[in-house]
Amino acid sequence: MKRVGPLLRRILVPVLSVLTALLLGGVVIILTDFDNLQKIGTDPLGTLGGAVQGVLNAYGAMLAGAFGDPNRIITALQTGNAADIARAIRPLTETLVSTTPLIFVGLAVSISFRAGMFNIGGDGQLMIGALAATASAIALNGVIPAWLILIATIAIATLAGAAWGFVPGFLKARTGAHEVITTIMLNYIASLFVFFILTTSPALRAAGSTTPVSKQLSSIVDVPNLINLPTIRLDFGFVVALLMAVAVSWLLFRTTKGFELRAAGFSSTAARYAGMSAGGSMMLAMSLSGGLAGMAGGFLVIGTVGQLSLDLSGGIGFNAIALALLAGLRPSGVVVSALLFGALTQGGKRMGIDTGIPFDLLLFIMALVIMFVAAPGLIRSIWRVRVAKPAPEIAQVSSESAGTV
C-alpha cells in the first residue's frame, strides 16, 4: 500500500469499521426480509432487486431521519415559512441534540482512559450532576435572576459530577481499589439515590405524578436555543460541548497537567521515576471526567429534557465508552464519533417508522463498529490494507482492562 498521511492512517480503521458494519447491517436486512426471500425460487432476479431495494430503502430512511431531506430544507428556506423550516431541519437538529451529551461523556471517558482509569461511571456522574442541577434550580428559583440560575446550575452540576468522579479516583490512588468496580457500584448508588429523592422529596417531585419525575424546570430556567423555531430543541449545550472538546484537547496536549495525566496513564512507574504524582493524576483525571459527565446531566435537565427522571441518562455512559474508543481517545475524534452515534440513533428511529426494521439493527451496527475498532487485524484482512498498529493509548486501555476486568 502507498504511504498514507498520518491523519488518514489514523482514521482508516474507524472509517472502514463503520463501513463494514453498515455492509453487514445490509446483509442482515436482506436475510430478515422474509417476504422478499420467499420469492427466490420463482423469481431469483426479482428477489435480488428486492434485496437491494430493501437495503437502499432502509439506509435512505436512516439518512433522511438523521440529516433531513436536503431538497425539502431548500424549498422550506425559500418559502420562509417558519413551521416548514422547522419541520425540514428538525431531523438534523435532533441528531445534534442526541450528539450533545455523547460529546460531553465521550470526552469524560477519554480523559479518564488517557490517565489509565477505566471510568464506567459516566451514567452515575451524569445522574448526580442532573440531580444537583435540578435541586439547585428549584432552590434558587426567585432568589436570583434566571440567567444567573442558568450559570449556577450548570456550575453546580459540574462540581457535583466532579465530586462523584473524585471518589473512585481517590479510592484507587489511596487504597488501590479498582475503578471499574467502584464506578459500577457508584452508578447503582447514584440512580438509587435519585430514585429515593424523587419518591420522597416533595420539593423536587412533580405534584400529582405517578412516576418518579421532578417538577418541570423550564418555567424556572432554560438553556437558550440556538435556532428560534417552534419544536426545535437544539440549544447552547451543543456549543458548550464543542468548546469542551477544544478545552480537553488543549488540556491533554498543551499543558503540564495533561502531560502528567497521559504519562501516568501509560506507565505509573515511569511517571513516578520522573517525579510525578501518579495518584494526583488519577484523582485529577477522574474529577475532570466526572465534571464533564455532570455537565452533560445539567444541560439535559435544564435544557433538552427540562425535567429529572430515572431514565435520563439512557445508557449514555456506556455508548460513550464505545465512541471514545472509536475516537482513539482524541477530542476531535469524540466529536465526530458522537455525531455518528447521534445520527445512527436518530436515523434508526426513522428507519423503524418507515420500513418496520427494528431499532435493534442499529444497536447491532454500533456493536459491530466497536468490535472492528477493537480488532484492527480483522479490518486488515477484510479490506487487504496495511493498517497502523492500534493507537497505543487504545492498546494500553484494552490490555489494561483485559488484565483486570
Q: 90 or 114, CB closer to other proteins? A: 114
Q: Which residues bind other proteins (CB under 8 A)?
A: 253-257, 259-260, 262-263, 266-267, 269-276, 392-393, 395-396
- C-beta of 72 vs 272, nearer to other proteins: 272
Which own/partner contact pairs does 259-267 have at CB distance under 8 Å and 24+ positions apart? Answer: 261/111, 261/114, 261/115, 261/285, 262/114, 262/115, 262/393, 264/115, 264/116, 265/113, 265/114, 265/115, 265/116, 265/117, 265/393, 265/396, 266/116, 266/392, 266/393, 266/396
CB of 6 to other proteins, least distance (A): 9
CB 110 within 8 A of CB 324: yes
**Smallest distance from other proteins to CB 277, Å:** 9
Shortest Å distance, C-beta 387 to other proteins: 15
Q: Min. distance of Cβ 3 from other proteins in angstroms? A: 12
For other proteins, the closer of residues 259 and 383 by Cβ is 259
Whole-angstrom Cα distance, residue 320 to residue 324? 6
Closer CB to other proteins, 1 or 207, in the complex: 1
**Closest separation between CB of residue 135 and other proteins, Å?**
34
Which one, 196 or 250, has the nearer CB to other proteins? Answer: 250
Q: What is the DSSP string of 39-73?
A: TTTT-HHHHHHHHHHHHHHHHHHHHHHHH--HHHH
| Residue 259 C-beta: closest distance to other proteins, Å | 5
Judged by phi (left if over 0) then psi (alpha if -120 to 50, else beta), residue 91 lies in alpha
For 340, half-sphere exposure in the C-beta direction (CA atoms, 13 angstrom radius) is: 26
Strand pairing partners for 228?
Answer: none
How far is the CA of 375 from the CAs of 3, 111, 325, in angstroms?
22, 22, 12
Nearer to other proteins, 210 or 269 (CB): 269
Write down the least CB distance from residue 132 to other proteins, Å: 28
In the complex with other proteins, the residue whose CB is nearer, 87 or 262, is 262
Q: Which residues pair with 214 in a beta bridge?
A: 205
Report the residue number, 231 or 255, with the smaller CB distance to other proteins.
255
Beta-carbon contacts of 244 under 8 Å, excluding residues fewer than 6 positions away, are 103, 104, 107, 292, 295
Residue 309: strand pairing partners: 213
Q: How far is the CB of 13 from other proteins (least distance, A)?
A: 17
